[in-house]
Structure formats: C-alpha cells, structure tokens
Structure 1
C-alpha cells in the first residue's frame, strides 16, 4: 500500500511540504530523511515520490515557493516615488512578511548551501531581483540627496540582514509589539542611510 487510507493527493502534497519545512527548520536538511518526512505525514516512504522526485527537489520547491510568495506579495504593495517613503514601505513590508514565516526564512538562509548548482542559481536570481528593488530605492535616495550611501550594494545587503535578523529574536506576546518593532527598525534604517 503506497498511501495511508484516507489520504488524498490535494491534502497530502501540502502536508508533505509543511512537514519537510518544519523538519528541515528543526533538524537541518542533511539530518532529515525522506522516511522521517513520510512518518510525520503518515504515509509510507515510497508514497513521497508521488509528490517530489527527491529530497533535493523538495528543498528547492520550499525555497522557490518562499521567494515566489515574497516577490508576489511585494509586487502587490504600493511603491511610492519618494525614496524615503519607498524605503519605509520596504522596511515595514520585509519585517511583516518574514515574521509570519519564521521556518521558511530560517531554511531560506541556512539551507541555501545544500542546493545543487542549478537550483542555487535559480534562488539567487530571485533573491537578487528582491535585493535590486532596495538597491534602486537607495540609489534614487542618494541621487535625490536624501541618503548618504557610498556603496548601495553593501548598504542593501546590510539593511536586509538587519531586517531579517528580527526573526531570530522576536516573539509574539513579548516585550515589544510588532508595531513597536517596525517603528524601531524603521528609525534605525533611516538613521543609517540619512544624509546628515
């Protein structure tokens, strides 16, 4: 029997992805076997191959799915022409989007190294397109004389690293509300790039 009685492909497929995401985030990609994922989902190990050809493809689909969701959500946001307003919008979007997906964010950064070269290139291109938007905002702000950023690429990477770092410490119900975190981080980013 390939599938546990009562399981359905439209339900089991997403459950496979959710279980893999959870297990990869908890134990690391290398430490998780297809058998563990199957056990978590409640199917025979051989049944997983109905949903993914192998563990590498499963990791890639999780990372690509995260980037596709990120880019689609960002495209749906407003993009003000004013560089300061655009930067604030980017900062608030980045934090709010990523706080909702801590496991996806964790594996997107920690497990990128486990992708084969072809899959890595796809994810890197998607990441670059997201980073390029922030770099464009910083460049426009520099050209308008409102940002003092000597190297927009380094500033882009530094800002994204700082914003993504919120996921390592923020907990709902903690000392700071999400809105307070957004305000504090916006203030730090603004001061880091502002012209004196």
Structure 2
C-alpha cells in the first residue's frame, strides 16, 4: 500500500512513532510485530521498511528522540530561573508534569534499554546523564549557598529522580489527585527531604 495522496513522509513517520510507542508499551519491544505496526498506520510491510530499515535501530532512535525532547522541553521551561530554590521547585514541577503526561514514553524509555546494543545503549545513556546532571547542578548550587545539607550530591540526585519518576507508574489523570495537587505535594516533600539534613 503506497502512502495516501497528500500525506507527507514526516506525517507518516509521526504516525509510525505514535503507533510503535503504543505497541511497545502494551506488548514490549521484542513482541512488536512490524507487520501489525504497518497495518496500524495503513502501510504495507514493504513500505514500512522505507521508514524502519532495522527494528533495533528504530528503537534506539525512538529512545534517543524521547530524551532529546525531554532535554529541549526542560531547557525551555527552566529559562530565566533565578537561584537553586526556584530551580528545584521548577525541576520537580517539570519532571512530574512531563512524566505523567507522557507515561507510555517514560515506561518504554526505562524498560526497553535492555533491548539495545551496547553502542545504542551508550547513546541513550549519555542523554540520560545530561538530564541528571541538570539536577546535580541544582543540588550543588543549593549546597554551596547553604540552602540544603546534601552529603552526596550524586546519590541524592539518583534518589530524587527515582522518587519523581515513580509517579508515572501509578498516577492516573482520572484519579482522586489532580496533577497540580500532585506537583505541590512532591515539591513540599522534596523541600522537606533536602532540609532534613540541616
């Protein structure tokens, strides 16, 4: 089946990406069948290969693109922040908002690293480290200014990321807790944790 008239290649790639995210989220990468994925977006299997010549590399590019979008959105959101206290509040808000809004991508981004080759894994891991470094910088600045007593910045950053990312596993938009209320609860929780060492 050829691409429908008037549909651009970029539109098709976006449709493939969205369908792949749903399939990987529901069934796992190894179980994702390219024939079914092609059917999801109205392509023949042969046409799909024009967009996905190699399944594993497609996953690597997908996971990289998710991290690149996260980093770009984060940079835009943090523009104009003044001081580590405001930066930490914003970091918590951004992380929870982004990760609850894009739960499927977060899930596959964490679970499907195992399906990458060592080289592919290194590419994605480098982007993840870049994001974690943003949090480490905020913690280090707050520590230097005496706002928090953080004994080990790397350990604290990993603990905070685990705490905040875990929200995407259990949070439901139709639950009892609004996203805004959730953000405020976690901002207060993180503030208490960082002050506990004082």
> Could you state the TM-score of these two structures normalised by the residue count of structure 2?
0.92
Instruction: Tell me the C-alpha RMSD between the 2 structures.
Output: 1.6
Q: Deviations over 1:75-133 (max 9, x none)?
A: 11235342111111111111111221111101000001111111111111111111001
Aligned equivalents of 1:98, 1:118: Cα separation in 2: 26
* TM-aligned CA distance change 1:115 to 1:7, over 3 Å: farther
Aligned to 1:61: 61
Does the 8 A contact of 1:4 with 1:44 survive in 2?
A: no
Number of residues paired by the alignment? 195
- 1:3 maps to 2:6: no
Q: CA deviation at 1:6?
A: 4.9
> Could you state the TM-score of these two structures normalised by the residue count of structure 1?
0.93
Q: Deviations over 1:13-68 (max 9, x none)?
A: 21111111110010000111211211222221121111122111221121111111
Which runs of 5 or more structure 1 residues have no equivalent in the other structure? Answer: none
Q: CA deviation at 1:143?
A: 1.5
